[in-house]
Structure 1
């Protein structure tokens, strides 16, 4: 009969295992509700051994958030090929994959969780937002982006974040619809900005000129046309004097 022998892990390997275990638990429950004892049991080690690798729950929590932040930032990486609308839709699909898989952990990352006010956690949140911002800017092909374009992209990244957090509270809107709506939101923000700025108008017209009629932006134009046809009343013609 063969007896199984538990392999001894090195220091870094054990640390990475504990981070993985913690992140998995945080993906299903709020970090506030997960104890060190549960993390130790899931990892198959004793509570004191957890403290050998991490001085406390806060340090383990921040290490797990670091990994989650890196993974979330990677979800915004997209090859710069094809129409912009389709690219943004793929990005939103991967973003919501993460949100769906790591609901409580995503909320903890974006809201601070048990580390509210922590400079480390706040820095990680800012890193994710800035990584998303830079990735989206890189797809617009503008060189030095005008001030209004920077505002549009930052506003859209914040909108995607807040929308995901609200969606997690009940998931009352089908996910696919929300992903498409957020792509439409980007186009709407850019179009409104273009109405105030010639440089933005040129960028938006170029983007729309590269979009297929059956793409996400074409879909938005079709929806708006239907909305306008059904809601905008016919103009009243003033009687001739």
Structure 2
């Protein structure tokens, strides 16, 4: 039978609880609209106790962004098995899982939210982008420094994925699955155009694409382009 006595949390356990509560609230509303009082109430503690663990809303917000950015960065990790197109489609699926589950929080992370312009927030955003970039190089089998045009393609594509997700959140007017496939196609298109100017990149793409199945996303793109060209 329960005695109704609450277990006292340790310092780090309480900090992690508050970060989790803040993230949950930020997933439903912009961090600008969430007060310390709401976070305290949801955590079942007093407002002064929140300030015991975090000196202010900004520090709690940055801690929540740290956890969110770690989670988001991990979405780009994918076992190096199977064709590249299918791998990228799975990556986009996990990325948009995060975007859909943490809409306002994702927007705040990408746009800065209450901490816009802060060095901490900028560093977190850069860490997500770098993790995505490193994973993309790994998926393509590139070790060490990437050829300049490939670096440009990947970093441009990552920016496109971010901006597309932010626009999509405003109304979700395009079915999510179609958008995920479109972004995979966008990567292939950007890489193909760049490869026409770079023999090294062209060789790399030919090696990657030779294992693409006839029903994969890259083959689907090629079929659509052929249909367009013949119309």
Same fold (TM over 0.5): yes
Q: Give me the whole-angstrom Cα distance separating, in 2, the residues matched to 1:15 and 1:194.
A: 49
In structure 2, the partner of 1:214 is 215
Q: Give me the whole-angstrom Cα distance separating, in 2, the residues matched to 1:2 and 1:204.
A: 63
Q: Give me the whole-angstrom Cα distance separating, in 1, the residues matched to 2:35 and 2:2.
A: 35
Aligned runs of 1:49-68 on 2, under 5 Å? 49-68=49-68
Aligned runs of 1:23-42 on 2, under 5 Å? 23-42=23-42
Q: Give me the whole-angstrom Cα distance separating, in 1, the residues matched to 2:89 and 2:178.
A: 11
In structure 2, the partner of 1:175 is 176
In structure 2, the partner of 1:235 is none
Q: Give me the whole-angstrom Cα distance separating, in 2, the residues matched to 1:160 and 1:173.
A: 14
Distance change (3 Å), C-alpha of 1:201 and 1:56 = same
Aligned runs of 1:50-199 on 2, under 5 Å? 50-143=50-143, 144-199=145-200
Shift of 1:2: 4.3
Q: Give me the whole-angstrom Cα distance separating, in 2, the residues matched to 1:119 and 1:145.
A: 27
Greater alpha carbon shift after TM alignment, 180-189 vs 202-211: 202-211
Shift of 1:142: 2.9
TM-score (normalised: structure 2): 0.98
- How many residues in Structure 1 have an aligned counterpart in Structure 2? 230
Match of 1:29, SS?
A: coil
Q: Give me the whole-angstrom Cα distance separating, in 2, the residues matched to 1:171 and 1:60.
A: 29
Q: Which segments of 5 or more consecutive residues in structure 1 lack a partner in the other structure?
A: 231-241
Match of 1:82, SS?
A: coil
Match of 2:122, SS?
A: helix
Q: Which segments of 5 or more consecutive residues in structure 2 lack a partner in the other structure?
A: none
Shift of 1:4: 1.6
Match of 2:7, SS?
A: coil
Q: Give me the whole-angstrom Cα distance separating, in 2, the residues matched to 1:219 and 1:201.
A: 20
In structure 1, the partner of 2:224 is 223
Q: Which aligned runs of 4 or more in structure 1 are off by greater than 6 angstroms?
A: none
Q: Give me the whole-angstrom Cα distance separating, in 1, the residues matched to 2:176 and 2:54.
A: 37
| Greater gyration radius | 1
Alpha-carbon RMSD across the aligned residues, in angstroms, is 0.9
TM-score (normalised: structure 1): 0.94
Match of 2:6, SS?
A: coil
